[in-house]
Structure 1
């Protein structure tokens, strides 16, 4: 991966991927759909695995937003056969834990003042870096972590953040982008149809075997080109509905293992232009 995001050139490798979403239970299981060999069944609801790395008490307290992020992170590490305790991380989510936000709003809106007491667990899980905290505690990682929100451009913003942290003498960086729906009435204002998580393990270029090399540049939207759409109609509908699914055009290109250019929107004013190359 080469990037001019910060004005410098950085070469890095893509080592592993994790994917969990509607009709996309894993990266391996989604290959046929991503390559165009089968139609996407995005009506199939996402099944979020239980985060077995967490102790039983924390496992019970972790909501869907934490579980999906940890599951995607776990899958990418397993794909790359990487030790998660050695990895810096970037966690990106457009909305954080919508269900927990809803529960907090209900509690604070109660008519009885005595019913407005917020539980410590709900408060702990309300912060945007809750998933990052659970992950680093679960895997015993002392490495740096960044949590961010870029609204609908959260995946691309997270990828920019991960790229700018890569250094020749540094450990790989794990990017995790995930989203979960809000309950009503917030869902009517911010409708997300289902839960989805995507993770990429990125490393500085080295002598090891890479799955893919990318060239990346953060450009004004008009210079970067039109955002890349998915080839599959079902995946395209998903891309437009869930911010984490903005990764799908990139995943389609990775599954096909053909040189490609992918444009991902970061904001109305900026886009991330990716050029994919594959080792022979």
Structure 2
């Protein structure tokens, strides 16, 4: 595969204790955490009542997506998007499985509506009034790398800018005994073909060697989307490279030019 390139125009970030990209950068560089942090994202794209009812997966995805668009100075309605999640909303999936085995007619229509893998993408396009293409991707522990590749391929084939959103939630119930994920984690990038900002060049290679985990990767190590954090640690510390798992015996090497 030929190398693909893109510029990061804006970043959004949220995890437990680090509710935005500025606090994540401060923590990665100096170990400093905010004295207070919200327990849950509150995406302003949704009306107040919808904000309270939205599942964690939707809340964190919309929060970081809006933050990235704001940082990039981009209208959310104008951007095609790629939403990448390893598992979707595990709590809702566990609820669905449990209810279907015990009392199938009692399934909540709202939870059923939120159980689909592209729920966050749907909330985003409706809330932002966006009619551009929205893609939902899952590729187990290579999900973020494959989402990044998809976004960069869209840039290479005609899009001027693409929004990439990655997120995962905590595993609960019986489902939590077969797949592990802790806390809430999300991040977003607005990627452009040109412009100011860190310049990424990516290339798929054979291999599985992984560097030592940085501060962000250590902080949120239990979440299924921790696979993306080597890139965000590298961005926070102005490192020249990050390596992401891209599938069995494959890695995505990301070169970063400031």
TM-score by length of 1: 0.84
Deviations 1:74-131 (A, max 9, x none): 1111111211110111101111011111221222122x5xx62423222211110000
Q: Secondary structure at the match of 1:104?
A: helix
Q: CA deviation at 1:178?
A: 0.3
In structure 2, do the counterparts of structure 1 residues 40 and 249 end up closer, same or farther at CA, with 3 Å as the change threshold? farther
Name stretches of at least 5 consecutive residues in structure 2 with no aligned partner: none
Structure holding more helix per residue: 2
Pick aligned residue for 1:243 from 224, 228, 244: 224
Aligned length: 257
TM-score by length of 2: 0.90
Q: Secondary structure at the match of 1:54?
A: coil
Answering whether residue 22 of structure 2 is matched by residue 28 of structure 1, we say yes
Name stretches of at least 5 consecutive residues in structure 1 with no aligned partner: 1-6
In structure 2, do the counterparts of structure 1 residues 59 and 231 end up closer, same or farther at CA, with 3 Å as the change threshold? closer
Residue equivalent to 1:137: 126
Answering whether residue 199 of structure 2 is matched by residue 213 of structure 1, we say yes
Residue equivalent to 2:155: 166
Pick aligned residue for 1:72 from 64, 73, 76: 64
Distance 2:74 2:235 in 1: 20
Q: Deviation above 6 Å: which 4+ runs of structure 1?
A: none
Residue equivalent to 1:102: 94
Distance 1:238 1:30 in 2: 10
Q: Is the 8 A contact 2:64 2:165 kept in 1?
A: yes
Q: Is the 8 A contact 2:83 2:136 kept in 1?
A: yes
Alignment map for 1:151-162 (pairs within 5 Å): 151-162=140-151
Q: Is the 8 A contact 1:229 1:236 kept in 2?
A: no
Distance 1:54 1:87 in 2: 18
Q: CA deviation at 1:217?
A: 0.3
In structure 2, do the counterparts of structure 1 residues 135 and 178 end up closer, same or farther at CA, with 3 Å as the change threshold? same
Q: Root-mean-square deviation (CA), in Å?
A: 2.3
Q: CA deviation at 1:40?
A: 6.9
